[in-house]
Homo-oligomer: A and B are copies of this chain.
Amino acid sequence: MSHDPEAPRRSVIGRVARILSAFDRQRRSMPLTVLAQRAGLPVPTTYRLVTELIQHGLLERGPDKEIKIGLRLWELSTRGSDTLSLRDTALPYLEDLHEHLGQLVTLSVLDHGTVLYLERLAPEDFTLERALVAQRHPLHGASSGLVLLAYSPPEFQDEFLQKPLAQYTERTVTDPKILRRMLADIRQRRYSIVPGIGTAGWTGMAVPVFGPKNAVVAALSTVYPQGREDPAAAIPALQSAAFGISMALGATPPARR
């Protein structure tokens, strides 16, 4: 159909990406016909691709015949990733922080223009369905996002602030001028504290994590029910954990930074 000799090959990877994207937290396994529909592909095409993805362990077929993501895909993406090695380094510090604060703590990175949560430790019976592992949030709708934005290159900030920004709650700041001031403030104080910009009723606090050459590689955050936030305890605890992780990652001590 196409005269581009690369077209068939290109479309296979594009279709595979659509198939993989059809799975999420709400829908972890599904029959072939549902998968085809969610991926927006014809059933026979989906069948052929799924069969081959299963052969390579990238998808699996459960005992109920439903199709699901293969653990091999997670294995390949996890063992070869720098960022996930960051998560392994950070985990003991996250645990201490979580135990000390008794609140939700998260580790996140800036990826494809959004916050991506790599890890999350929540109190028992925690109800906020937010900042889940492998979930994304918009940068201006999370305390971590603001920290990651504050420390990103000026060109990236300019581009981000030029686009129209969605209003998630009454308190989400969408005015680029006010946001710029907030980002400058975050860089100066080295932390963010923002009430209800992503979810009404919850206050997030976040600090940067530094890597080699003192580039910001991640953000560490905690979330408190609004009115119960305790920055005098939370900010130093976040900073101390972030310092430990930064040193473990090979950052230079911040005294002269």
Contact residues of A with B, CB < 8 Å? 6, 8-10, 12-14, 16-17, 20-21, 23-25, 27-29, 48-49, 52-53, 56-58, 68-85, 88, 91-92, 95, 98-99, 109, 111-112, 116, 120-122, 124, 132-136
Tell me if A85 and B28 are in contact (CB < 8 A). yes
Tell me if B9 and A49 are in contact (CB < 8 A). yes
Q: How many copies does the complex hold?
A: 2
Partner of A135, one of B79, B116, B121: B79
User: What are 8 A-B pairs at a CB distance below 8 A?
Assistant: A9-B48, A9-B49, A13-B16, A20-B76, A73-B73, A73-B76, A92-B121, A95-B99
Tell me if B71 and A111 are in contact (CB < 8 A). yes
Chain B residues whose C-beta falls within 8 Å of the C-beta of A76 in the assembled complex: 20-21, 23, 69, 73
Tell me if A79 and B8 are in contact (CB < 8 A). no
Chain B residues whose C-beta falls within 8 Å of the C-beta of A53 in the assembled complex: 13
Min C-beta distance of A43 to chain B, whole Å: 15
Given known pairs A13-B16, A74-B134, A134-B75, the reply for A81 and B69 (CB within 8 Å) is: yes
Given known pairs A72-B112, A121-B91, A121-B92, the reply for A80 and B49 (CB within 8 Å) is: no
Min C-beta distance of A183 to chain B, whole Å: 22
Min C-beta distance of A120 to chain B, whole Å: 8
Given known pairs A8-B9, A134-B75, the reply for A17 and B112 (CB within 8 Å) is: no
Tell me if A56 and B14 are in contact (CB < 8 A). yes
Given known pairs A13-B53, A91-B121, A121-B92, the reply for A79 and B24 (CB within 8 Å) is: yes
The 7 A-B pairs with the shortest beta carbon distances in the complex, nearest first, are: A23-B80, A78-B134, A73-B77, A79-B134, A74-B77, A17-B56, A12-B12
13 new A-B pairs (CB below 8 Å) besides A9-B12, A21-B76, A71-B111? A8-B12, A9-B52, A16-B16, A20-B77, A23-B79, A24-B79, A68-B82, A71-B81, A73-B73, A73-B76, A75-B116, A78-B134, A92-B121
Find the B residue at minimum CB distance from A14. B56
Partner of A52, one of B13, B70, B124: B13
Find the B residue at minimum CB distance from A27. B80
The docked-state distance in angstroms from the alpha carbon of A207 to that of B133 is 26
Give the residue among A9, A74, A84 with the most B Cβ atoms within 10 A.
A74
Chain B residues whose C-beta falls within 8 Å of the C-beta of A111 in the assembled complex: 71-72
Tell me if A71 and B116 are in contact (CB < 8 A). yes
Chain B residues whose C-beta falls within 8 Å of the C-beta of A57 in the assembled complex: 112
Tell me if A28 and B134 are in contact (CB < 8 A). no
